[in-house]
Amino acid sequence: MVSPSPTATSRAFTPTPDRHLDDLGVRLHDGVATIRVWSGTADTVELVVCDDHDLDWVTDTVPLERDAGGIWQATTALLRPGTRYALRVSGPTAAGNMFNAETLLLDPYARGLVSGGVGDWRSVVVDEAFDWGGVGKPGVPLDRTVLYEGHVKGLSKRHPDVPPALHGTYAGLAHPAMIEHFRSLGVTTIELLPIHAFASEPRLHQLGLHNYWGYNTLSFFSPHAAYATEAARREGPAAVLREVKGMVRLLHEAGLEVVLDVVYNHTAEEGIGGPRSSLRGIDNLDYYRQQTDGEYVDVTGCGNALNTSTDAAARLVLDSMRYWANEVRVDGFRLDLAATLGRDETHAFTPEHPLLRAIIDDPALADVTKIAEPWDVGMGGWQTGNFGAGWHEWNDRYRDRVRNFWLSDVDYARRASTAPVGIGGFATRLAGSSNTFSEERGPLASINFVTAHDGFTLRDLVSYDVKHNLGNGEQNRDGADTNRSFNHGAEGPTADGRILATRRKAMRNLLGTLLLSAGIPMITAGDELGRTQRGNNNAYCHDSALTWLDWELADWQQDLLAHTQRLIAVRRENPALRPIRFARLGEVTPSALVMEWYDENGETMSGQRWTDPAHRTLQYVAASTPESEAFNRILLMVHGVERPVEVTLPRIDGVTRYVSLWSSAEERPATTETGHLPGEVVPLPPTSMRLFRAE
């Protein structure tokens, strides 16, 4: 383990942060403005005011005065809404410092930015006034939450019913045509890839590419201006912010929540030698993780890692979350590489890290959902299941097991005549991953997903055995090599009708598993439409038709959309599919499940059947333990072998019939429900699922 860096004035961050760090940035009051900047190591800090049109023309400078706690402050009438400004900071040249008194730096708390060209940025004072019209947050219960992860630009860029002026914008995302899609699909919560202001890496510029996903943050408070309409961009950062708030308000009016994917683990300043745009020039020693000689401790793979063991860095994260939750009124956050934020002064992860606890305990964040991506690339960086109460986590164990069961296991069985494993591990994931998340946290701690922005789309997952990333300019070296995918007999596009039909069924099986599992499901935007990226599993650098959603759908894509809509509706209508708690042995636990497991013969599953690779057929019966909804019981059949099977419906006390609700074997979901009796034999096609309501 590397040694922590010595810092001049830092101390361990505490759950109740020092009030001395309140009100950083610019605050307008009484016809003037006060600017407050923290730097514990600087010798001087200077406010630089720039011309409204020529960012290189410095019109005024104001020295900031330091107090005993490292706060540099000035009150001036020069700062007013619309003012372009920067900071100049000088300091000692000791190891770990990166001061340069000539560099114009961004205020870390600026609410808006403007650009004068590549790498040339200024902060802007923003009028934050906005009329919310009495619209509040939807407050969707967690057990009813269905996340929809998408990109602001990619969602509406090609939508034929969104006006061209709104294509790919915040306003376009909230257009009635988009809201109609979200609502008809049945999702409750739109999770947006980063909308904090970001920049493309210099390396991408050299390749003629651009950062599309946005995981390269310039400012934790400023929205990304490129996603605003041209009219808002012309008007300036205040109009951009109003458009963001307008998007949130319209989505809230439609009953839809907004969750932001936020990147607090690193910044666009990259490694040593990268851009000096803000934190590096203000107080590199305290903001970034370093060894004693000043070398960065990079646990993110992006060149630097924010040092959240110091007050200043931790408060920056917490204050940013407070701002977006309360001023922009978003409903939650997905914290990218959240394990980095939980590393202490020795760079080791701890679930009781003061910042992680502060995020959960902060009253200002009480009504927002906190989702962790529970890993980074540093030592001890894989922490799935290890975050504390109040956190929800991306469950990569769920993703991998579900992909294995429906794809790589089936591929293996074609070559070896039997699958490598039985159905037991898959069943554990289906029932809420109790082997990963504690009883205290329950199944809703798990964010279940099969695909995400990072990796293959659903369609590509069933169409490619290997990644095809040559267009990224890295000779196909980038992107994951282990995808647990299966092309079903041909790599990529094919005219083979049998292969195409099998791929379509595999997509339905994956979506069915996702939406019928205990936990909170997350759908990747476009998977419901069968979107492809032509085998690229790391399309972060493509801002093009490759990554934008195509809304012109073939018949089979319309069918897939109908299946997704049906599955979400079934989930909503059946409480037994969305438990809140894990059951306790020998007790009746409210809002949990009473689970029973049967084989294809309608008999209770034996221990041998759980692990036998030759018997991958299961009947899962889940009965709710009502707390606020009526009693409900479902039966889900799962058949993970490429040959048909006959399944005998189990005889269960109190069950007189089974009503068929959904089948993955159908090209388009049935519009009528059919009844079946206990003991009746039901044919199940190869590798398929079928859901019943038990009455």
Active site residue 373: yes
In 3D space, the residue among 578, 580, 579 whose CA is nearest the CA of residue 567 turns out to be: 578
pLDDT tens per residue, range 269-320: 999 999 999 999 999 999 999 999 999 999 999 999 999 999 999 999 999 9
What per-residue confidence (pLDDT) applies to 4? 33
Is pLDDT above 60 for 6? no
The strand ranges marked E within 317-458 are 332-335, 369-372, 392-394, 446-448
CA distance 174 to 256: 10
| CATH number of the 146-395 domain | 3.20.20.80
What per-residue confidence (pLDDT) applies to 585? 84
pLDDT confidence tier of residue 17, bands split at 50, 70 and 90: low
Is pLDDT above 60 for 497? yes
pLDDT tens per residue, range 50-107: 999 999 999 999 999 999 999 999 999 999 999 999 999 999 999 999 999 999 999 9
| Strand 369-372 relative to strand 392-394, pairing | parallel
Within this chain, domains 146-395 and 585-694 share the same CATH topology: no
Range 593-620 average pLDDT:
95
pLDDT tens per residue, range 478-494: 999 999 999 999 999 99
φ, ψ of residue 485 to 5 degrees: the values are -100, 175
Q: Give Cβ neighbours of residue 34 (< 8 Å, ≥ 6 apart).
A: 23, 26, 27, 73, 74, 75
Continuous segment of H or E residues that includes residue 250: helix 237-253
User: Which is catalytic among the residues 261, 269, 319, 336?
Assistant: 336
Question: Residue ranges of the domains in the chain?
Answer: 19-124, 146-395, 397-575, 585-694
Q: Under DSSP, is residue 281 helix (H, G, I), strand (E, B) or coil?
A: helix
pLDDT confidence tier of residue 250, bands split at 50, 70 and 90: very high
Residue at token pair 């993970």: 640
CA distance 633 to 618: 16
CA distance 236 to 240: 6
Range of lowest pLDDT (9-23, 232-246, 336-350, 425-439): 9-23
CA distance 643 to 415: 15
Range 202-226 average pLDDT:
96
CATH 3.20.20.80, applies to 397-575: yes
Percent of the chain exceeding pLDDT 70 equals 97
pTM above 0.85, yes or no: yes
Is pLDDT above 70 for 8? no
What per-residue confidence (pLDDT) applies to 97? 95
pLDDT tens per residue, range 126-183: 999 999 999 999 999 999 999 999 999 999 999 999 999 999 999 999 999 999 999 9
| CATH number of the 585-694 domain | 2.60.40.1180
What per-residue confidence (pLDDT) applies to 587? 86
pLDDT tens per residue, range 622-631: 999 999 999 9
Is pLDDT above 60 for 384? yes
User: Which is catalytic among the residues 201, 286, 373, 559?
Assistant: 373
Assigned fold of 19-124: Immunoglobulin-like (2.60.40)
**For the chain, what is the mean pLDDT?**
96
What per-residue confidence (pLDDT) applies to 18? 65
Is pLDDT above 80 for 370? yes
Percent of the chain exceeding pLDDT 90 equals 95
Is pLDDT above 70 for 3? no
Active site residue 336: yes
pLDDT tens per residue, range 504-529: 999 999 999 999 999 999 999 999 99
pLDDT confidence tier of residue 621, bands split at 50, 70 and 90: very high
Is pLDDT above 90 for 255? yes
CA distance 507 to 509: 5
Is pLDDT above 80 for 633? yes
Q: Rounded to 5 degrees, what angle do the CA atoms 118, 123, 127 make? A: 135
Contact yes or no for 490/403 (Cβ under 8 A): no
In 3D space, the residue among 324, 204, 210, 309 whose CA is nearest the CA of residue 263 turns out to be: 324
CB burial of residue 417 (10 Å; 0-12, 13-18, 19+): exposed
Q: Which residues of 169-205 are buried (b: 16+ CB within 10 A; e: fewer)?
A: bbbbbbbeebbebbeebbbbbbbbbbbbbbbbbeebe
